[in-house]
Structure 1
Amino acid sequence: MPFGTGRRLPWPLIGISIVAANISTEQMVGMAGQAAGAVGLAVSAWQLVGSVGIVIIAWTLWPRFLRAGIYTMPEFLEYRYNAAARVLMATLTVLIYALVMLPAVLYSGGVTLRTLTGLDLRTAVWTIGTIGALYTTLGGLRAIAWADLVQGLALLVGGLLVFGLGLHAVGGWTAFRAFHAEHLHMVLPDSHPELPWTGIVSGMWIVILYYCGLNQFIVQRNLAARSVADGQLGMILAGGLWLLVPFAIVMPGLIARQLYGTELGDQPDRAFPLLIRDLVPPGLRGFICAAVAGAVISTLASLLNSVATIATMDIYRRWLHPGASQPTLVWCGRLLTVLSMTVACAIAPVLEEPRFGGVFRFIQQFQGYIWPGVVAAFLFGLLVERAPASAGVTALVAGPLLYGLFQHFAPSLHFLIQVALAFSLVLALMSLLTLWRPLAQPRRLPERPDLDLRQSPAVTWAGWMVIAGVAWFFLAFW
């Protein structure tokens, strides 16, 4: 684990670090942009369903990973299936991070910097990318986590400040609610092209299970917890803080729609940066810009750290150089950091083209190639102990292929429905392989006998409070 911290992080640091890594300009630009466009308040479902999901994962899935003593998610697949499953997931993860996630963060950061300073988009992207690569290479995850403690709180405070200033600009809550009466609903009809309720109850749960429970980008913080309770409370704290996202990010997007109207045109991703530029006084604008910049660098650092860790530990050391020394692994990780950032900086400016439908949609839609197969492989492997190695490998190969077929031959079907269908078909394939050739003996994860996995009452009550908050929000804005 060349960029690790050891297991020493306390729960407040874990929770705020997850929030800072998750809520960056791809949310402040992309999610606010979708709110300003056709989706409205309903785009909040991504974070609110995530709040419920991360609580459930903290109660159930995460303790099992910690007990197994693993450092990366591909490592789990080797324990459960075989080495081929590990390298397949590692390769898929590195590709998605390098070709989708990193370019999206760089593009949204670049759009913000361009709106605020007038810099050319390409120059802004390369400036952010260079700083992010240096920060990751020199700092490591522990430095990233402690910086997140300040940046994460500043980002949420900054977003809430923009919301307050925006409400004042449009004449208060009553005027805001009257203007957006048709867009303040969490549940949209099944015919809605952007976010139908059928997608939320089906494919979105698969997405959340991957993102909160199987995604190295998020899980690396939980695996660095100093205790089981710290990891669980940190995840639940993140879920609680995500309840602020509708107010700090989504509603400001709606306010931008009210203030700027057609000025946004076919570039709704400009919504949040325009609010910062036009509504925030100069002194406070510097505070918010610093928070946004910190969030961009934090997210880039987390993604780059994940790419370097997975590529170094699960591909380079496992397959190419098993006897590599620790210094060699560190330098390999640094080289991969620079390479990944270079590729991402070259891709990012292309995302401005209208065909991508906004950065938030780009992120979600293209990650569909990894969600169905990976989630099926993990869930089936945990629940069906006699599933053979061939079932896991098949899931990781079939998932991207099936989703790609839906994307090509059924483009009118919402991508979350496509994710759910691909996931169901992968599970069917895994079931057939297990019935055909089940393992002679159940395959179980290794266990660390020194860990006490009993759940504390504080973890239980905190989790239920978060779930109750989500339920209230859905009912209030049904």
Structure 2
Amino acid sequence: MLAQLSLIDLVVLLVMLLIMPTAGIIVALRKKNAADYFLAGRNIRWWTVAGSVFGTNISSFHLIGMLGIGYSIGFVQAHYEIVFPAILLLCFVFLASYRRLEVFTLSQYLEVRYNEHARLLYTILLILIILVQLVGSFYVGSITLQWLLGGTSFALSYWQGLLLIGLITCSYTIWGGMESIVITDTIQTVMMLAAGFAVAYFTLGQPEIGGFTGLLNLDAAQPRAIQKMHLYLPSNHPNLPWTGVFTGLLLQHCFNFTTNQFLVQRVLAASSDQDARRGIIASGFLKLTIPFFSIAAGVAAYYLFEKRFPGLDFNSDNAFLKLVETVIPRNVGLVGMILAGLVAATFSSVDSMMNAATTLLTVDVYQKYVNPKANDRQIVRFGRQMIVVMVAASIGLALWTYTPDRTNNFMLKVSAQLSYFTPGIMVAFFVGILWRGASARAAVWAMALAPVYGVVVELIYNYGLATIPAVSDLFGLKLNFMHRVFLTFVLSFSTLVMLSRTAYPNQNITGFERLRVSVDGPQLARAVGLFLLVQAVFVSLVFLGHFSPKMIAPWAALATLGLFLLPKRAVEDPQPVSVLRAGFGFNSDSLWAGLLTAISVGVLYYFA
């Protein structure tokens, strides 16, 4: 690809790529203590929180993979970006407790709530999760560089691409820590959005498509069974069943935005609770743009290639690169800008995950067990050493685990791999903050048994229940990972509750009290119940009143926004942290959260 670039494309590509490490290295020159290195001195503003969260959450295998899934499956992939329940949970349930304790890691939070064993187990599980994601990001990043540099004197092999990614990210993360990362993540977010919007603009602008409205009309003209611009697939769909979307995938979103160290670390680094809250809400708005430029462009690519290249059969994950070759004007710098955004997407997740993993290893292993009396200089030095270790491990695993021949819908495969570990973690956090009776030993068992439960329910379904025609017709021949996540969550939840009530009654009430939780279970239940009641009315109008979901969408969105404008009921606390006191309550943060939720709900109805 690089051999085909014009001079202006090369200049744009090189300038944009040099901005990232340069900005990171400039920040890295400042002297840093432990708080500066791991949490940017707890001084980042809301727009940087938003850019860093988005950049951390979206990597090259998301940018390529989202479009590829849009191409092969359809707009239903948008459910991965509709994350308002998780954002509300972080902003108005967990955030105040996390920040009040002034912890470096979420594992420290678990130690306060439970004990040091829960802290250590979380650290181990998160390191495994981060490693899986790091390996995937290195893998996709390397094959992207192979494609980019192919046919030039700079052509790279697979292992050389892995090494180059490691060296570039190390150049600023080792010395700059979190402060360098949040700056580069924000730059990378702008580059990724520019690249994604450019590809979408020129793809949707092709005469065969006729814009976004043309895409909707083109899709509507197809038989319903093969239409792609819908959000709901049958419950037995092998990849994205609607039943899994509203159970397991919803739980996965909650894990990522409320209990995942490498994403929540940005919230811990914010300069104030308000900056943290507004930053995470703003990142939710940014994520809502992805369906309309990345996934929609993938659907448009399906129809475009069908018309322009009849009989074309190729890997769906190559749709992004094929679009760049097909629709982007040459000799104006756009190709260079898009390729820079693609490369930036690789670095944005790799550097963030490396920093999170090293924070866990440094704070929860080195400082806790190896050298409890370590000073700031020793802590930062160990953190830098762990970055090198994590990069070396990721490169080694990428070489051992994957071949350079990418498989279709790689993103879905990585999501499935990660989901064995997450349900138990979610249970420990959710139950721990909402129920004072949750005990430490029960929480440890719930986290430890979750991967076992996942394997067991998969085996029982695939080799037992799936042989029953009625069951396989309803949920498919293989248990979808989203269904597995939900079942594992239920089993882990039951384990924690039963053990807390029987074998291991809670002996650490003070841990719960130290959290100073601003919303309890009944309050949260009332808010969720009110939301579900409103949606039940509109769903009934669709199924019983035979109203079109498109007709219902704006009214459902307005009614949802109205929930966030309800006045608060008087409470004893004159300055309540939570907006979940009665209804949702009103203030500027809840208004923005309401807008995010309303738009998301509107999308869920409109593309039904």
**Are 1:41 and 2:75 matched, yes or no?**
yes
Corresponding residue number in structure 1 for 2:596 = 466
**Are 1:216 and 2:261 matched, yes or no?**
yes
Q: What are the superposed Cα offsets for residues 7-46 of structure 1, whole Å, 9 maximum, x if unpaired?
A: 2111111112111111221211122222222x21001101
Structure exhibiting the larger radius of gyration computed from Cα positions: 2
Corresponding residue number in structure 1 for 2:22 = none
| Structure 2 counterpart of 1:149, from 170, 173, 186 | 186
Q: Is the 8 A contact 1:10 1:226 kept in 2?
A: yes
User: In 2, Cα distance between the equivalents of 1:59 and 1:80?
Assistant: 18
Deviating more after overlay: 74-83 vs 265-274: 265-274
Equivalent position amino acid for 1:422 in 2: T
**Are 1:177 and 2:216 matched, yes or no?**
yes
| Structure 1 counterpart of 2:383, from 308, 333, 355 | 333
CA drift of 1:362 comes to 2.3
Corresponding residue number in structure 2 for 1:235 = 280
| Structure 1 counterpart of 2:487, from 406, 418, 421 | 421
Q: Is the 8 A contact 1:24 1:299 kept in 2?
A: yes
User: In 2, Cα distance between the equivalents of 1:105 and 1:445?
Assistant: 40
Corresponding residue number in structure 1 for 2:147 = 115
Equivalent position amino acid for 1:134 in 2: S
Corresponding residue number in structure 2 for 1:25 = 60
Instruction: Give the percent of matched residue pairs that are identical in Structure 1 and Structure 2.
Output: 28
**Are 1:4 and 2:49 matched, yes or no?**
no
Corresponding residue number in structure 1 for 2:514 = 446
Q: What are the superposed Cα offsets for residues 136-190 of structure 1, whole Å, 9 maximum, x if unpaired?
A: 1122111211222222122112211110100123331355334444111011111
User: In 1, Cα distance between the equivalents of 2:365 and 2:193?
Assistant: 37
Q: Is the 8 A contact 1:29 1:112 kept in 2?
A: no
Report the CA distance shift for 1:168/1:357 in structure 2 as closer, same or farther (over 3 A): closer
Deviating more after overlay: 302-311 vs 431-440: 431-440
User: In 2, Cα distance between the equivalents of 1:335 and 1:102?
Assistant: 17
SS in 1 for 2:205: helix
Deviating more after overlay: 282-291 vs 233-242: 282-291
User: In 2, Cα distance between the equivalents of 1:448 and 1:249?
Assistant: 41
Q: What are the superposed Cα offsets for residues 375-420 of structure 1, whole Å, 9 maximum, x if unpaired?
A: 0011111122122211111011111111122344435111111011
Q: Is the 8 A contact 1:68 1:445 kept in 2?
A: no
Deviating more after overlay: 433-442 vs 387-396: 433-442
User: In 2, Cα distance between the equivalents of 1:175 and 1:465?
Assistant: 27
Report the CA distance shift for 1:52/1:387 in structure 2 as closer, same or farther (over 3 A): closer
**Are 1:246 and 2:283 matched, yes or no?**
no
User: In 2, Cα distance between the equivalents of 1:84 and 1:266?
Assistant: 48
| Structure 2 counterpart of 1:271, from 304, 316, 319 | 319
User: In 2, Cα distance between the equivalents of 1:393 and 1:69?
Assistant: 23
Deviating more after overlay: 253-262 vs 140-149: 253-262
User: In 1, Cα distance between the equivalents of 2:366 and 2:314?
Assistant: 43
User: In 2, Cα distance between the equivalents of 1:395 and 1:264?
Assistant: 48
Corresponding residue number in structure 2 for 1:342 = 392
Report the CA distance shift for 1:441/1:313 in structure 2 as closer, same or farther (over 3 A): closer
User: In 2, Cα distance between the equivalents of 1:264 and 1:405?
Assistant: 40
- Structure 2 residue runs of 5 or longer lacking an equivalent are 1-33, 221-226, 463-477, 518-574, 580-585
| Structure 2 counterpart of 1:167, from 184, 190, 204 | 204
Deviating more after overlay: 289-298 vs 390-399: 289-298
TM (norm. structure 1) is 0.93
Equivalent position amino acid for 2:512 in 1: R
CA drift of 1:305 comes to 0.1
Corresponding residue number in structure 2 for 1:378 = 429
**Are 1:288 and 2:338 matched, yes or no?**
yes
SS in 2 for 1:245: helix
Q: What are the superposed Cα offsets for residues 43-84 of structure 1, whole Å, 9 maximum, x if unpaired?
A: 110111x13421342122212211222221111111111111
User: In 1, Cα distance between the equivalents of 2:443 and 2:578?
Assistant: 30
SS in 2 for 1:438: coil
SS in 2 for 1:171: coil
Q: Is the 8 A contact 1:9 1:224 kept in 2?
A: yes
Corresponding residue number in structure 2 for 1:60 = 93
Corresponding residue number in structure 2 for 1:97 = 130
CA drift of 1:211 comes to 0.1
Greater RCO, CA 8 A, separation 6+: 1
CA drift of 1:124 comes to 2.1
SS in 2 for 1:3: helix
User: In 1, Cα distance between the equivalents of 2:506 and 2:214?
Assistant: 64
Report the CA distance shift for 1:257/1:212 in structure 2 as closer, same or farther (over 3 A): same
Q: Is the 8 A contact 1:111 1:270 kept in 2?
A: no
SS in 2 for 1:183: coil
Report the CA distance shift for 1:419/1:353 in structure 2 as closer, same or farther (over 3 A): farther
Q: Is the 8 A contact 1:112 1:270 kept in 2?
A: no
Equivalent position amino acid for 1:86 in 2: R
Q: What are the superposed Cα offsets for residues 281-318 of structure 1, whole Å, 9 maximum, x if unpaired?
A: 34111112222222321211100000000011112221
Report the CA distance shift for 1:472/1:421 in structure 2 as closer, same or farther (over 3 A): same
Report the CA distance shift for 1:423/1:356 in structure 2 as closer, same or farther (over 3 A): farther
CA drift of 1:326 comes to 2.3
Corresponding residue number in structure 1 for 2:300 = 255
- Structure 1 residue runs of 5 or longer lacking an equivalent are none
Corresponding residue number in structure 1 for 2:605 = 475
User: In 1, Cα distance between the equivalents of 2:435 and 2:116?
Assistant: 19
Q: Is the 8 A contact 1:312 1:329 kept in 2?
A: yes
Deviating more after overlay: 191-200 vs 153-162: 153-162
Report the CA distance shift for 1:201/1:64 in structure 2 as closer, same or farther (over 3 A): same
**Are 1:226 and 2:292 matched, yes or no?**
no
**Are 1:304 and 2:343 matched, yes or no?**
no
Equivalent position amino acid for 2:144 in 1: T
Corresponding residue number in structure 2 for 1:137 = 174
Corresponding residue number in structure 2 for 1:402 = 453
Report the CA distance shift for 1:357/1:77 in structure 2 as closer, same or farther (over 3 A): farther
